Structure 1
Amino acid sequence: MTVTSPSRPKSRSWLSRIFDPGEGTLAFLLLAPAAVLLLLVIVYPVGRLFYTSLFNLSLTSGLPAEFVGIDNYRLMASDPVFWEAGWNTLLITLITVPGALILGLVLALLANLPFRTRWPVRLSLLIPWALPLSFVGLIFAWFFHSEYGIVNDVLARFGVTGIIWFNSPNLAFAAICLAIIWKTSSFMALMILAGLQTIPRSLYEAADVDGAGPVRQFFEITLPLLKPAIVVALIFRTITALQTFDIPYMMTGGGPGTSTATLAMYIHQNTVSFLDLGYGSALAVVMFVFSMAVTAIYLRIIRARGQ
């Protein structure tokens, strides 16, 4: 009895490999454009930013760039304006992110109520989100103007004397936080409203049969099923809060003094106003690291809940 050896697969020509690639080659070809785009848009700018932060590069001095290593970061550690701007940024994040979440949740629940003409309510959620940030800053700067602002006009009708909002660090900071919460709550509401649309109505009907009231339905059905949408909204809102620039810049310019300056405003001042690219790049690297750290924390929370 003769045993025939298994036939070897014929090797394909290079032409057939190009027009009929394997799964691994096809995956590489499909992912290559996205990888190149990420390298050009993200990796190279961040690498260049970190590289520039290692140099003493001031365009106003007229001197060539000088490699100084981590001296810019050492200077940052002893810079009181950096610490004040960083603290203001952190405080804005801690105040406006929960504030926008609570207000956005209320607005989303109102927009999801079962009444016929819901489109005006949902359309009103788009207005704050669609307005440019600098325009919102100008609007609220006019609202809180000490002479002809709406807020002081309303207070005067109740017998309260006019308040110079932007001369007080605390009042100016409060006005900025109110403007940011109003602006960003619409984004949170739209994200949460999209999550509300995915909750099956049958769950609420079953809860009604079991005798659960609206409050119990909210805490046992709505809120648990909204957690993925809320976490995603918090990630985007927190990152943008750490990068806050437009609204405080248009409302106070960082004043009085530097009491309302944010880290992004301090970066802009060093790079655009002072043309100190080395120190400004170091500040930008720190803000980038903060943003990535916050994102990593949120992603870790999502992964832990998914297990």
Structure 2
Amino acid sequence: MLKNLRDPSEKALGFMLLLPAFALLAMIVAYPIGKLIYNSFFDFRLSSGVNAFKFIGMANYADAWKDADFWNAATNTILITLITVPASLVVGLGLAMLANLPFKRKWPVRLALLLPWALPLSFAGLIFAWFFHTEYGVVNDVMQRLGVSTNRDQTMWLLRPNLAFTAICLTIIWKTSSFMALILLAGLQMIPKSLYEAAEVDGASKWQQFREVTIPMLMPSIIVALIFRTITALQTFDIPYTMTRGGPGNSTETLAMLIHKTTIEYLDVGYGSTLAVFMFLISLSVTAFYLKRIGRAA
């Protein structure tokens, strides 16, 4: 036994080297997820006093299935994901291709890409909440100067459900496009220039080069960017919370906001854990879909 430890096989050495990583993942990933699932089977309310931890089985899941607030928050979350992820990919790809042009000084362009990504989410939400303010906002001021609206007919961006949802999506797209652009820019710089030169010799137009060379070679970077962006979109909290607090009503409330309200404001840890399990399952399903797509591409 001691001899095997001193001179381990290649398989045993690999296991020994990965063991600390497995232990770390178990501590920071497996245990919290297991605890979350465990709590979801209990009526765990911090405001209930002595009987604050009572086993109720699948009752929380049944309640969530019949909860209109849950379905509203889940629908808003999915809509935000379906709208902002493709839009940020398109805008990010355009920004990445712009930053990849042969400028003499590239750092101002790349700094412009970095700044929105580095800005805290809550700060971005507060800035755009001011932009879309009914009376003092920049957006309404510009619309008035362009003659689109008048002082008597100001657009109440954050006070009407559809407009508030639109304002939140625009803010998220602005905030996340730079993240997509940075990942795609790294992918663009790894494409050999000889491929474009060969395509140009064969008479390919710029559009054909983009479609037949850029997109296929950039696909691994696109998939990676989509995985990270989709998961963060499903967990959207900061920007809607700082802009509208989920209002008007609960028209812009996301699943993460509902979990926060349930656990922090209502102190219902059991039901909040159930909602978090649903979010985890949605994120896991989306990640599995992307990984399967990567396997097919490989």
TM-score, normalised to structure 2, is 0.96
The equivalent position to 2:26 in structure 1, one of 27, 39, 59, is 39
Q: Which residue of 2 aligns with 1:194?
A: 186
Q: Which residue of 2 aligns with 1:230?
A: 222
Q: Which residue of 2 aligns with 1:30?
A: 17
Q: Partners of 1:122 and 1:197 in 2: how far apart?
A: 13
Amino acid at match of 2:269: L
The CA deviation at 1:164 is 1.3
The equivalent position to 2:48 in structure 1, one of 40, 57, 61, is 61
Q: Which residue of 2 aligns with 1:7?
A: none
Q: Partners of 2:11 and 2:146 in 1: how far apart?
A: 73
Q: Which moved more, 1:16-25 or 1:36-45?
A: 16-25
The equivalent position to 2:123 in structure 1, one of 113, 123, 135, is 135
In the alignment, structure 2 segments of 5+ residues that lack a partner are: none
Q: Partners of 2:155 and 2:272 in 1: how far apart?
A: 36
The CA deviation at 1:20 is 2.7
Q: Which residue of 1 aligns with 2:202?
A: 210
Q: Partners of 2:12 and 2:117 in 1: how far apart?
A: 43
**Post-superposition CA distance 1:5-60 (Å, at most 9, x none):** xxxxxxxx72x443332323322210110010011011110000000000001111
The equivalent position to 2:5 in structure 1, one of 18, 23, 28, is 18
Q: Partners of 2:16 and 2:91 in 1: how far apart?
A: 45
Q: Which residue of 1 aligns with 2:261?
A: 269
**Post-superposition CA distance 1:201-260 (Å, at most 9, x none):** 111111222221211110011011111100110011001000000000000000000000
The CA deviation at 1:152 is 0.8
Q: Which residue of 1 aligns with 2:37?
A: 50
Amino acid at match of 2:193: R
Q: Partners of 1:39 and 1:206 in 2: how far apart?
A: 49
Amino acid at match of 1:30: L
Q: Which residue of 2 aligns with 1:171?
A: 163
2:75 matches 1:83: no
2:167 matches 1:180: no
The CA deviation at 1:273 is 0.6
Amino acid at match of 2:183: M
TM-score, normalised to structure 1, is 0.93
Say which SS state the counterpart of residue 166 (structure 1) adopts: coil
Q: Which residue of 1 aligns with 2:247?
A: 255
The CA deviation at 1:305 is 2.1
The CA deviation at 1:178 is 0.2
Q: Partners of 2:106 and 2:197 in 1: how far apart?
A: 21
Q: Which residue of 1 aligns with 2:138?
A: 150
The equivalent position to 1:74 in structure 2, one of 56, 62, 83, is 62
Q: Partners of 1:237 and 1:50 in 2: how far apart?
A: 25
Amino acid at match of 2:31: Y
The CA deviation at 1:115 is 2.2
Say which SS state the counterpart of residue 289 (structure 2) adopts: helix
Q: Partners of 1:64 and 1:98 in 2: how far apart?
A: 44
The CA deviation at 1:285 is 0.3
Q: Which residue of 2 aligns with 1:246?
A: 238
Say which SS state the counterpart of residue 56 (structure 1) adopts: strand
Say which SS state the counterpart of residue 47 (structure 2) adopts: coil
The CA deviation at 1:64 is 2.9
Amino acid at match of 1:75: D
Q: Which residue of 2 aligns with 1:291?
A: 283
Q: Partners of 2:52 and 2:195 in 1: how far apart?
A: 68
After superposing on structure 2, the runs of 4+ consecutive aligned residues of structure 1 that deviate more than 4 Å are none
Q: Which residue of 2 aligns with 1:8?
A: none
Q: Partners of 1:189 and 1:286 in 2: how far apart?
A: 30
The CA deviation at 1:167 is 1.1
The equivalent position to 1:97 in structure 2, one of 61, 85, 105, is 85
